[in-house]
Structure 1
Amino acid sequence: MQHANRRAAWTVDDLQADPCWVFELDDHARRDLTEAVRKAAEPAKTLLDYRRDDFDLGSAWPVVAASLREVRDGTGFAILRGMPRDGLTAEQFELLTWAIGLHAGVARPQGKASPFMTAVRDAGTVYRTGKGRGYSSNADLDFHTDSADIVLLTCYNVAKSGGMSMVSSSVTAHQVMLAERPDLAEQLHQPLCFSRQQEQAADEAAFYPNPIYDWRNGLLFSKWNRNRLRSAQAIEGVPALTTQQHQALDLLDEILRRPAVMHSMYLRPGDMQILNNHVTLHSRTEFEDHDDPVLRRCLFRLWLAPPDGVALPESWRPAYRSVEAGSVRGGIVGQEYDETRRAFEKRQAADLGMQA
């Protein structure tokens, strides 16, 4: 079966031949974004207190919207360059990231404390453990998908060295595996168990089943995280992986890192990377940070459920809770999801014409 969106099956040569996935904000757009944040910012407000109409993104929004269309209908990822990083503090830059998210979808919680925005920086976390998370470590990460339709990552500071970002098309990787080892490709369509890394909500089990690949309406979807699969193997009730499953997973990870498949880049201050988690997988190299806290690597991560999200495979329901098109879904609900967060989701969904 061919993926209905053929542009999602790209190679590195394709990206280099047609940089349609790169977008640039001009000076006018940068001024509009700066003004929007400075006009709306109120120290007494939390992020959840803001509404979409608080931020007029002006001439920047058509460019952002075009990048989101590329993420949905094209390659599955985009780089937006030229956000006004130099004119904003880290707090204002975070608010700008949030403002763009309010126009693009409903933010999803991202962990045990149910945060809707995450600062991606080294907090000393040990990544490869039963409760490790990559965003708060400086480790080399496995290729993975995040737990939402879209991940939006804005760059405020870069590391002293390292921290290169890599993106691969999961559709291309699937095609390569089908051509080379169709028997192993079939293994990736069977449910595997993934750990919730001790962040599960009260109504969730410690692990959930999900195939790495599944189809719906002619679209191929992927969901993969080796660290969570590895952690799940230590949880009671999770079946041990078979030899064939090990072989399939190893081959997938090897394909994702092939030079023809893996696109590498360094995000620069003021860059925004947007990924469609259903057709791309991403990773990052280890990094060494600055000693000066003011200069240390800092990015802001937002997970979104967009109003134009497509229907997901039924097998995604344990992880996403909902698979209906355009629904508020995905994220890591966590253990501090309360009425304030629930009320924000309902307001934001209503503002975007979505069903909460």
Structure 2
Amino acid sequence: MSDLQSADDLPTRFSIPSAWKGAELFTRDDWQFHLTQAHLDDLQQALETISREHLKREHITPARFPLPHLGPVLQQIQQQLETGSGACQLKRLPVENYSASELEILFWMISVHIGTPVSQSASGDKIFHVRDEGFQVGQKEARGPNTRKRLSFHTDRCDVIGFLCLQQALSGGNNQLVSSVSVFNEMRQRFPELTRILMQPFYYLRHNVDTGNQKPFCQQPVFSVQDGHFAGSFLRVLIERAYASPDLPDMSPQQREALDQLETVAESPELSVTFSQEPGDLLFLNNWVTFHRRDDFEDAEESHLKRHLLRVWLAVPNSRPLNPLFADNYGSTAAGAVRGGMLPTREIDLSNSTGSDSN
């Protein structure tokens, strides 16, 4: 595509805090926060109350556990995820001091101060374990996070995704992150015609494990603007699977070129960053303004030394309005709605699904 094509009929270039480029992110004052002893004391006191009173997870709310020192920091992170860079690391929870069940509680307690957890599976799991489960290619249960393979840039079905690193891999497994706003800006400048295509609906096939979803496919754009708010959403594996279906039209050469150029721009060192999560690091990302991916990795032989993260999908009360096409995947497109996640299980034939999904 020619660089000289007009972009006049496209949305204006976005000059907003989430349009960072590459290592600029690491210099931002909203990128990284450090847990202090006062923050850890808040968490410990709450954990002791939860243990003493045998509270269930749904009883762990910001109203009941306001976390006087840490709570305001988490509210600040919630706000900056929406109006700032869209990415934040919270360092460092001493994971070595807690049991597996206590770490789930602590991760949940931190997360609910940022948003409302939504289901990450048809069985209702709201905390997901990111680790290699040994699934083979073609198993319908396989998901990208449960393999050791490299994942492509993508977003997840939520407003904000959160991770807590419990154990690093023996080697590899680094994180890559890019501002989807900056990717849009770059695509708009270099490939305006392809950018128009990315703002049109693409077919998505139902996720392998989304067995509660009655719709075999949906349509949604990669880039969209609703009431002045940008949104980027992308999971190429489900796009490819949809266009390979005999029930749907073939992907056009222009659509494929648009996706190829999108990924090339996203992975450019001028726009993307690479970093590692160390044990105890938390990472929160706004899915509407960032794309993320992970390198392949090698694990240690010992089970307790294998790469392991906890993951949460959050709907946040300060979220942006979305294009109506996102209703099929998110349930609501209204700003601030509890949306996203997966519906309860229904009996659906997934016999034609192969491979593994990024999320």
TM-score (norm 1): 0.88
Partner residue in 2 for 1:148: 158
Residue identity matched to 1:323: T
Whether 2:209 is the aligned partner of 1:206: answer no
Structure 1 residues 1-356: aligned runs within 5 Å: 1-2=11-12, 6-41=16-51, 46-48=56-58, 50-126=60-136, 132-202=142-212, 204-335=214-345
Q: Distance in 1 between matches of 2:246 and 2:58?
A: 37
Q: Distance in 2 between matches of 1:33 and 1:171?
A: 35
Residue identity matched to 1:286: D
Q: 1:241 to 1:130 in 2, by over 3 A?
A: farther
Asked if 2 retains the 8 angstrom alpha-carbon contact of 1:28 and 1:59, the reply is: yes
Q: Distance in 1 between matches of 2:141 and 2:219?
A: 18
Q: 1:19 to 1:102 in 2, by over 3 A?
A: closer
- SS of alignment partner, residue 113 of structure 2: helix
Q: Distance in 2 between matches of 1:240 and 1:204?
A: 23
Aligned residues between the structures: 337
Give CA-to-partner distance per residue, 1:146-171, whole Å, 9 cap, x none.
00001111111111111101110111
Asked if 2 retains the 8 angstrom alpha-carbon contact of 1:171 and 1:280, the reply is: yes
- SS of alignment partner, residue 249 of structure 2: coil
Quote the offset at 1:140 in angstroms. 0.2
- SS of alignment partner, residue 214 of structure 2: coil
Q: 1:326 to 1:50 in 2, by over 3 A?
A: same
> Mean Cα displacement is larger for which, 242-251 or 150-159?
150-159
Give CA-to-partner distance per residue, 1:104-150, whole Å, 9 cap, x none.
22211112322111011111235787764111111100100000001
> Mean Cα displacement is larger for which, 250-259 or 77-86?
77-86
Q: Distance in 2 between matches of 1:218 and 1:335?
A: 36
Asked if 1 retains the 8 angstrom alpha-carbon contact of 2:14 and 2:185, the reply is: no
Q: 1:67 to 1:181 in 2, by over 3 A?
A: same
Q: Distance in 2 between matches of 1:253 and 1:43?
A: 49
Residue identity matched to 1:100: I
RMSD over aligned CA atoms reads: 2.2
Residue identity matched to 2:339: R
Q: Distance in 2 between matches of 1:129 and 1:183?
A: 38
In structure 1, stretches of 5+ residues that fail to align are 337-356
> Mean Cα displacement is larger for which, 187-196 or 277-286?
187-196
Give CA-to-partner distance per residue, 1:70-124, whole Å, 9 cap, x none.
2111111111112232321222111111112222222111123221110111112
Quote the offset at 1:56 in angstroms. 4.2
Give CA-to-partner distance per residue, 1:219-275, whole Å, 9 cap, x none.
211110111112223334222100001100000001110001111110011111000
Q: Distance in 1 between matches of 2:290 and 2:339?
A: 18
TM-score (norm 2): 0.87
